[in-house]
């Protein structure tokens, strides 16, 4: 709409502010006096108000049309489904964190050198606090699912089972290894692609002496893992399984692939691949390669020397190899004193 009337130049700005209810009260008196004596400006005010009213009517009509189009119940149901999905994902993460904590607790409770070395990216969660958080999330998910109109039976059952699992987890006591397995398995039921949970499930099988099942989990992450670091961690664990069963050739292949990828330099948890490669070469009767890899380890990971010495002190079969092969032991003492000096 084009305005028919024109305002006086000196008052056009004030009139626009006045119609929009934005003109300060201190300035309105002068405008009112002018409007009493100027018909053109009064007409301009009337035109502006009419135009403003037309815009308001159009906006209200559009809002009513949009309300007619949108199915409010469908929108609410869609939002609820999204929130339920978020709760499921949060539950999966909590099951993983709690399962990891139990597996690490079980590993620590093993006496002597039977413990297995593992480097978590972060400290395990507090078991009691995580269990309480899990119960709350499960209850919230159950209530959301029920409020969504057509409740998802699968999600409802999941949330109920989850509350029971978190309740029993906090009372697990000496059954830490079994509890950790149940929690990790539940995380993978909800989110099969949660590779961290699958890695710790494989580690749990290792601690329980089920090497075949451990290999299945590690191979799956190595083959299908979404993140390169997780794939290399799975390969490192596979190397550990092969080494523990005396299949040194396959263990060497696994460790060599991790090292050649360069991932061990970028991810702190993978630095042991080169150390394990050196150890397994010695066990496999490859002393020259063993010395080479130990030398490379010291050059690449000087900050890990003390940690490596601790890890080597726990490898009884490697110590037995050094006792049998005095020449190799002497060569390591001379060429890699940082690790083997008396």
pLDDT category at 221 given cuts 50, 70, 90 is very high
Tell me which DSSP letter residue 9 carries. Answer: G
Per-residue model confidence (pLDDT) at position 2: 44
Model pTM score: 0.73
Q: What helix, strand, coil percent values describe the chain, rounded to 5?
A: 80, 0, 20
Average pLDDT (293-315) is 94
Average pLDDT score, the chain:
86
pLDDT, one tens digit per residue, over 3-13 is: 556 778 888 88
The topology (CATH level 3) of 72-191 is 1.20.120
- Within 8 A by CB and 6+ apart from 220, the residues are 198, 234
Average pLDDT (284-288) is 96
Rounded distance between C-alpha atoms, residue 73 and residue 167, angstroms: 35
Per-residue model confidence (pLDDT) at position 196: 95
**DSSP letters for 138-185:** HHHHHHHHHHTSS--HHHHHHHHHHHHHHHHHTT-TT-HHHHHHHHHH
Domain layout of the chain by residue ranges: 9-69, 72-191
Rounded distance between C-alpha atoms, residue 230 and residue 195, angstroms: 7
pLDDT greater than 80 at residue 342: no
């Amino acid at each position: 709409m084009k305005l028919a009337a024109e305002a006086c130049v000196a008052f056009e700005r004030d009139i626009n502010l006045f119609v929009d209810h934005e003109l300060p009260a201190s300035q309105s008196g002068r405008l009112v006096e002018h409007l009493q004596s100027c018909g053109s400006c009064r007409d301009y005010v009337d035109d502006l108000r009419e135009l403003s009213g037309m815009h308001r009517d159009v906006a209200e009509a559009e809002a009513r049309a949009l309300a007619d189009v949108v199915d409010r119940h469908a929108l609410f149901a869609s939002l609820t489904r999204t929130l339920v999905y978020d709760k499921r994902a949060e539950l999966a993460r909590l099951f993983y964190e709690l399962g990891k904590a139990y597996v690490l607790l079980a590993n620590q409770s093993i006496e002597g050198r039977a413990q297995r070395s593992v480097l978590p990216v972060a400290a395990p969660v507090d078991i009691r606090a995580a269990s309480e958080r899990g119960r709350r999330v499960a209850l919230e998910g159950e209530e959301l699912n029920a409020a969504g109109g057509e409740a998802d039976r699968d999600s409802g059952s999941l949330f109920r089972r989850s509350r029971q699992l978190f309740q029993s987890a906090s009372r697990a006591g000496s059954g830490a290894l079994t509890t950790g397995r149940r929690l990790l398995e539940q995380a993978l039921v909800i989110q099969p692609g949660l590779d961290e949970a699958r890695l710790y499930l494989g580690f749990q099988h290792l601690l329980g002496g089920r090497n075949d099942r451990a290999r299945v989990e590690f191979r799956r992450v190595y083959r299908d893992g979404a993140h390169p670091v997780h794939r290399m961690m799975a390969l490192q664990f596979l190397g550990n399984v092969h080494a523990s069963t005396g299949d040194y050739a396959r263990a060497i292949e696994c460790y060599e692939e991790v090292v050649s990828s360069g991932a061990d330099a970028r991810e702190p948890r993978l630095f042991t691949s080169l150390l394990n490669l050196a150890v397994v070469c010695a066990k496999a009767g490859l002393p020259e390669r063993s010395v080479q890899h130990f030398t490379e380890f010291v050059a690449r990971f000087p900050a890990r020397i003390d940690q490596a010495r601790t890890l080597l002190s726990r490898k009884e079969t490697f110590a037995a190899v050094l006792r049998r092969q005095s020449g190799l032991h002497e060569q390591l003492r001379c060429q890699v004193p940082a690790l083997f000096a008396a």
